Amino acid sequence: MQYRPQEIDGRTILAGDPPGGARVVEALGDVATADHVAVLVPGNGHHLGNYFTEEGPDSPRARGELLLRTMQALDPDPHVAVVVWVGYRAPADLAAAASNVPAAEGAPDLARLTFYLPRSAHLTLIGHSYGSTVGGLALATARVDDFVALGSPGLGVWRRDELGTGTRLWAAQAETDWIRYFPHARLGTLGLGRPPLHPALGATRFATGDVTGHSGYFRERSESLLNIARIALGRHDDVTTGLLDRQAGTARPGLAPQPASRRAVVA
């Protein structure tokens, strides 16, 4: 996939297939001048055919626009941008999502995007559901400062050192998200590896507030969305962990995790 910005019907398209294809990558905001860029990778069921017509809060484009507004509201000074990356042939449904083939095929193009974006920008990769598997497989060769996995069935890998180095790992899983029942294994083309909160991968868990289910992580004004935006802005000390302060009864800010190191691998 070649990344080259084109203005089409008032939208900035960085890459895409011809009509009838599956892939599309859109930039929201000016990525060329951004200090912070967030890249959203959605899960199964999304493709070029429904990208511009799907309505409602679960559409990738709506989530990208909401995240951009939230980042701007939290800190209006830095230049910020969001890239919505439907740059792979996503599985059509849950049954097809048991295969790691779409993630493995899409990961190189996602990694390539990270080198197309400005080298000076703080870059956050955000994968929801199967999109976190694509992101996990891309990390070994990508340039990413922070990686956020939302409702992840698995990052496609078994060991921390398979995720490369230098990237902070974050993860969220709502208490009522059914993804916790997804089987974690990997055998050939089946299975999506370990989830990010497994001790062998060691992501920092952040609070989601009162969001519910598998698709609520981008709910407007939720603690989940605020934390995603804080990470995307590099405001790591403001991210809440979900641990309750016994006196105040409120979620506490968490400590920023250190970038990964091959010398600190939990096998």
Could you tell me whether strands 146-150 and 168-172 are parallel, antiparallel, or unpaired per DSSP bridges? parallel
Domain positions in the chain: 6-264
Residues in CB range of 18: below 8 A, 6 or more apart:
none
Could you tell me whether strands 168-172 and 204-205 are parallel, antiparallel, or unpaired per DSSP bridges? parallel
- pLDDT exceeds cutoff 80 at 184: yes
pLDDT in tens, 38-64: 999 999 999 999 999 998 889 999 999
Residues in CB range of 175: below 8 A, 6 or more apart:
none
Give residue 253's pLDDT.
55
* CATH class of the domain comprising 6-264: alpha beta
- pLDDT exceeds cutoff 50 at 19: yes
Of 264, 35, 28, the C-alpha closest to 168 is: 264
pLDDT in tens, 83-96: 999 999 999 998 89
pLDDT in tens, 223-238: 999 999 999 999 999 9
Contact 70, 79 (CB under 8 A): no
* Total-model pTM: 0.90
Give residue 222's pLDDT.
97
Contact 48, 17 (CB under 8 A): yes
Q: How many CB atoms lie within 10 A of CB 67?
A: 23
Contact 153, 130 (CB under 8 A): yes
Give residue 44's pLDDT.
94
What are the phi and psi torsion angles at 239 (to 5°)?
A: -70, 130
Distance of CA 229 to the CA centre of its chain: 11
